[in-house]
Amino acid sequence: MIEIIDVIKEKKKIYAVSEKSSFYPDGKGGQLGDRGNIGDANVLFVEFKNGKYYHLIDKEITPGKYEEIIDLDRRFDISQQHTAQHILSAAFEKIADLDTVGFRMAEEYTTIDLEIPNLPENVEKEAERLSNEIIQKCLNVEEIITTKDEISKYNLRKELSNKVHGNVRLIKIGDFDINPCGGFHVKNTGEIGLVKIIAKEKVKGNLTRLYFLAGNRAINDYDNRIKITKSISNLMTAKVEETPKRVEEVINKMKEYKSKYEKLNEKFAELIANDILNKAEIINDTKIVYIDTKEDYINYLPKFLPMDEIIYIAKVDNRFEISSKKINCKELIKNIKEDHPEIKGGGGENRGSIVGNIDISEIKKYI
């Protein structure tokens, strides 16, 4: 049972507040929080602040005692990801002496930040291999409660934070890793199943961020990738193993078609340039060439028009591209924006653009 001592409404959000809770808070130790129910209200998020638990719920309740139901499937998923993170971080330390300096668990994936700007692929693969080897050994995952005074007895992978007070909870994975942690973990590494690194990127200038999945998440991801691969192979009318080559052939063909298409647009622009110029409107001894179309040939027209004699305006949807060597496009756009603050845009002396709800007739007033 959980005792709700207060219910707070902030805008469209409702928080059930308690002094004690079985729900693990979101963000604590970089981990996702619990979900479930307080009575018949769904718990959407859990925050611990000012010594109290704030449960974001989907319907209003009154203070009192309620049955609390934890989503154990979600908690097991979190346990798989969290224990896999400990194993993966320990593997990188053992293989390449790389420290994990950041950890974040999201609903779709988990990340670790390693203290290296460019992680070699062979190190990444070896750490993944070792991690899965440890998982397959079905090592016991033990919880050890100790004190700060006795912490020196243990060969911790990461030093204990000075912010920790009172008893210390350690997570020991066989003889492979031991590290302070307050989050969820499996009882045996075999419960994880597998861990798979799915992406990496350079962050903060000198770190490598790895994205990984473990357990059921990794299996579901594998299923999705198989479906995607089969779908592409069907579209390419090729066997799965032949798909990369067929895709490359199609891309090369598309590049060839695109090149021919662009040349045709350029040639068409050249052919109609004189006709468009002859139909131009004249304002204050300046010819205005205005085109309203989504056709790509408009990008090539300025090449065949006397830009030092005209103003060229091309409209695509609610965007106006303005080009000219006769007037200062930057000043023109600036003047328009001063009277129409809702309009966005800018540019240089010879070319610029504006976006917004404005008509060509209004733009012509500024010429």
- Maximum alpha-carbon separation in the chain: 91
pLDDT on residue 151: 84
Query: Average pLDDT of 91-120?
Result: 94
222-234 as b/e: b if 16+ CB within 10 A: eeeeeeeeeeebe
Tens of pLDDT, residue by residue over 29-63, are: 788 999 999 999 999 999 999 999 999 999 999 99
Domain range 262-364, CATH architecture: Roll (3.10)
pLDDT at 175 over 90: yes
Judge whether residue 142 has pLDDT over 80.
yes
Place of tokens 């979900």: 35
Distance (Å, rounded) from C-alpha 116 to C-alpha 360?
54
Residue 367 predicted with pLDDT over 80: yes
* Cβ proximity of 189 and 138 under 8 Å: yes
Which range is least confidently modeled, 1-5, 130-134, 282-286? 282-286
Give CB contacts under 8 A, 24+ apart, made by 308-316.
Answer: 310/277, 310/280, 310/286, 311/286, 311/287, 311/367, 313/288, 313/289, 313/360, 313/363, 314/290, 315/290, 315/291, 315/360
pLDDT band with cut points at 50, 70 and 90 for residue 166: confident
**Statement: residue 22 has pLDDT above 80:** yes
How high is the pLDDT of residue 30? 81
Q: Output Rg (C-alpha) for the chain, integer angstroms.
A: 31
For the chain, give every residue range classified as CATH 3.10.310.30: 262-364
Looking at the chain, the domain(s) classified CATH 2.40.30.130 span 2-70
Predicted confidence at residue 34, as pLDDT, reads 96
Q: What is the CATH number of domain 75-232?
A: 3.30.980.10
Compute, in degrees rounded to 10, the torsion defined by CA atoms 157, 161, 162, 164: -110
Nearest 5°: phi and psi at 7? -125, 120
Predicted confidence at residue 139, as pLDDT, reads 97
Residue ranges of the chain assigned to CATH 3.30.980.10: 75-232
pLDDT at 318 over 90: no
Strand 13-18 relative to strand 64-66: parallel, antiparallel, unpaired?
unpaired
Q: How many residues does the chain have?
A: 367
Which of 3.40.50.10310, 3.90.550.10, 3.10.310.10, 2.40.30.130 would CATH assign to domain 2-70?
Answer: 2.40.30.130
Contact between residue 337 and residue 349 where contact means Cβ atoms under 8 Å apart:
no
Query: pLDDT tens for residues 284-314?
Result: 888 999 999 889 999 899 999 999 999 999 9
